[in-house]
Each structure stands twice: as structure tokens, then as C-alpha cells.
Amino acid sequence: MHTPSQIRARGRHLHAALDQVIEQRGWSTPKRRAHQWRTLRSLVQHAHAHIPLYQRLFAAAGFTPAMLDDWEDLSKLPILTKPDLRTAARSELIAQDNQSAIRWLASSGSTGIPACMARTEESLWHYMACNTALYYEWCQGAPLTNGLYLVDMSPDSIDFATAGLLRTTVPHSRILSAQDPVAKLTHELLGISPEFISSYPSTLRAIALDLRAQKRVIRKTRLIHLTSEMLDAHTRHLLGQIFPNARLIETYTSTEGGLVAWQCTHSSRWHIAETNVLCEIVDEHGLPTTGLGHIVITDLTNTATPILRYRGLGDLARWEPEPCPCGSAARSIRHLEGRSATMLRSHAGTLISPYVVINAIEDVPGLAQYQIVQKQPGMLEVRVVVDADASRNRVEKSVQNALEAALAGSADLQITFVSRIAAPPGSHKVPLVISELPAFA
């Protein structure tokens, strides 16, 4: 429990961060770009002068801050990878004379390689304020008070850090651990019957499967916020069945970048949180591309461990060049097309988007749960959990036919029936697609 003085202090932090976020959301494009450039230059100079990791990377690339004269010079700044963060000692990730209040965090390892970094408390408050402002927008200024938050309670996760801040406005009893057994989470959800749920797709999917097995439908839930993982069409359809009156909203977040983008409420595109991050889409050589490319981010909110031109999120996307119907001037991406770590490979070695296989089997009747694993190019193992009242042979044939049509001979299939598919040790996430082939850094 927090004391009254602590609650007041936390409230002041949140209000100050909200004031800043609300002001920034009203900025014109020129003002936003000027902020990005000014902050980028400041972070690069700070990293060059004080952060050993960047001193080493800059020296290896022959880069100095003086080389950054305008936006055309951005590609001269070396790209940061997840292995760069993973192999660096903590002493290399922050300034020796750092005076800021910081939290050491680790990424979830959803790309297969967890990494450590430090965030300032100020950047965490900013992250919470951004999500709070979006929540009010989703609720059209009338927030739903009966909420439930399913959070990664690993002590070094960004969500655990922000859960502590969330208790400024949300009762402790409404913040549950996503690592708890599904039966417990289902029981709590039924007892609360929330109007609003914030969760990871895989966590809420597991609960929805449990509710479906109990023949339960939750009609009081009006808004569901999903984050941190990709929401596949199969899970979207399942959630629509169990929470028929709920609107689904997604945000694109990460430990390294905070809030990167949010789904537009008027279209399927994602708006980049441009006052939080500088986002690029680049090819294999780190150069801008208008086609499918790697998302590269620079975090504009955190000075503890600067994140400059970071490709470690592992996500692939395309720019959406057309103006958005909602009127927002923020740049947008069409959608996230998967992680490079989960991109599949054909017999010939060409890339196959995970959504090719996910979307192909989303509507197969009797398919309770599945996972696709690739250990060698051109071969996919499809692990299948069948509904209790479904025909195993019929499900197998339907999955086989749907995937063969989608893959058009580019990969062979091995269908394996299992009783359940669990999250890997130390994680709350159940990945739908796993590639054990070498991935991009």
C-alpha cells in the first residue's frame, strides 16, 4: 500500500507526463519533425560522450556526431542489434556518472534473444501517460471503470514496472499476473465481469478457450486492449465469439521502444507514436525502403540506455503512403507482417510470412489450438489440439488441405496431435509460429 504522500507524488508525476503527452499530440508535422531531429542529435551526442556500448559501435563504424547534418545522413548512424544489447555488460549500457532514477529491464525474448537495458523513471511515466491518453480516446472521454489488467509480473519486465505506476489509478485487485494458471485467471475474470480488459493476445486466447469449453460468453466486456504480441485472425475470431460486444484495440509496444504505434480506430493501419520514437523501415543494408522491410526505431524518451536505430524488435512492415481517414498526420504502417524470427522458409529458401499459414487455418472447425514449428527449410510441423467433440480425422484433413492450398508446394507438412500447447519456460506467451532457423539480428 502507498501512503497518502506517495499517492500524491505519483499523481503529480502522472499529471505532468499527461500534460506533456497531450501537448505533443497537438503538434504540427514541422514541429514534430523538429522535435525528432533535436532529440536525435542530443541522444547521439550523449551516447558518443557517455555510453561505452555506443563509443565502441561508433568507433567500429567510423561514425561521429558531426557526420549527422540532416535527415539524409541518418543511414550513417550504425544500426543497433539485439545481440549488441545482449552481450554488453551493464556498465557499458549507461553513463558512469548517471544521476537519473532508473529501472533495469529485460525484454521478453519473444524474438528468441532476451536483452537487458535501463530506462529512466521519467520515460516509464511517459509510457504510462501515452497509454492513458489513448485509453481516454478509445472510450471517447468516458473511461470504463470496471477494468481488468493481465500483466507480465516478471520483476525485470517493463509491464511489471508500469504495473507499479498503474496502481496510481487502478486498484491492486484488478492487476493480475499473466503467469497465473489459466483456470485462476478465468475464475477471476468471471467474478469481476469487466467492461475493459488489457491483456496479451496469447493470455486472453487461453482464457477464451477455457471459457468456450465451459460454454460461457462474456457480454459485459465492451473494450479489449491487446499488446506486446501479434493478434492473429484465429485469435481475433475466437475473442469475437467469447466477448461478442467488445471492440478490439491493439498497441505495438516493446521494452526497448516503449509505445511504438497504435491501431487507428478508423482503419486497419497503425499510427507511429512519432513524438516517442523515430521509426524507419529499411532493407537488408539498413537503407530506407518503400517495400517490405525491417522496422528500425530510435526511442526519443529514454536517456538511460539510449536506443538508436535499433533493429532488434525483429518486425517486418511496409509504409502506408495514403492519408488516413481519421485525419491524423502521423506516419502509418499498413500492418505488421511478422517477425523476422518467425518468418518461414520454403524449399528454395525464400521467405514465407507466418500469416500465410496462420490465416489459412483460422476457420478450421474443431481446431482448439495450434502451433507451427520449422526446423529446416521447406518442412513445417503443425502441432494441433482438437476440440473434445470434434473429429480428429476431419480436423487433420481440413488443416492439411488449407495449408497445402496456401503454400502451393513451397513446404511439406507434418501434422502432430498433442493434448496441449504450453508457453516456453519463463514466458507467459504461447507463440503460434516458431522458427528454429537462423533469423535476422
Residue 137 burial (CB count, 10 A): 13
The pLDDT assigned to 191 comes to 96
What is the edge-to-edge ordering of all strands in the sheet holding 433-435? Answer: 412-417, 379-386, 367-376, 433-435
Residues 6 or more apart in contact with residue 141 via CB below 8 angstroms: none
Q: Give the C-alpha separation, 150 to 142, whole Å.
A: 22
What are the domain boundaries of the chain? 343-435
Give 6: exposed, middle or buried? Use CB within 10 Å, 0-12, 13-18, 19+.
exposed
Give me the tens of pLDDT residue by residue for the chain, a chain 441 residues long.
556 666 677 778 888 999 999 999 889 999 999 999 999 999 999 999 999 999 999 999 999 999 999 999 999 999 999 889 988 999 999 999 887 889 999 875 544 456 899 999 999 999 999 999 999 999 988 989 899 999 988 888 898 898 888 887 888 899 999 888 889 999 999 999 999 999 998 889 889 988 998 999 999 999 999 998 777 777 888 999 999 999 999 999 999 999 999 999 888 899 999 999 999 999 988 899 998 889 999 999 999 999 999 998 888 899 999 989 888 889 999 877 765 556 788 998 877 877 678 778 877 888 888 899 999 999 999 999 998 888 999 999 999 999 999 999 999 999 999 998 877 765 556 778 888 887 544
pTM above 0.85, yes or no: no
The pLDDT assigned to 170 comes to 85
Closest-CA residue to 90 (of 79, 101, 105): 105
- Residues β-bridged to residue 197: 148, 224
The pLDDT assigned to 145 comes to 87
Give 105: exposed, middle or buried? Use CB within 10 Å, 0-12, 13-18, 19+.
buried
The pLDDT assigned to 112 comes to 47
The pLDDT assigned to 154 comes to 84
Regarding beta strands 247-254 and 196-199, do their DSSP bridges make them parallel or antiparallel, or are they unpaired?
A: unpaired
Cell readout for 163 is 504495473
* Phi–psi pair at 210, nearest 5 degrees: -65, -45
User: What topology is assigned to 343-435 in CATH?
Assistant: GMP Synthetase; Chain A, domain 3 (3.30.300)
Residue 186 burial (CB count, 10 A): 19
Residues 6 or more apart in contact with residue 311 via CB below 8 angstroms: 79, 80, 81, 82, 282, 286, 294, 295, 296, 440, 441
Task: Report the b/e string of 229-252 with b at 16+ CB within 10 A.
Answer: bbbbebbeebbeebbeebebbbbb
Contact 226, 253 (CB under 8 A): no
The pLDDT assigned to 2 comes to 58
The pLDDT assigned to 426 comes to 57
The pLDDT assigned to 106 comes to 87
Q: Give the C-alpha separation, 94 to 102, whole Å.
A: 10
Q: Phi/psi class of residue 288: alpha, beta or left (left: φ > 0; alpha: ψ in -120 to 50)?
A: beta
Residue 399 burial (CB count, 10 A): 22
Regarding beta strands 433-435 and 412-417, do their DSSP bridges make them parallel or antiparallel, or are they unpaired?
A: unpaired
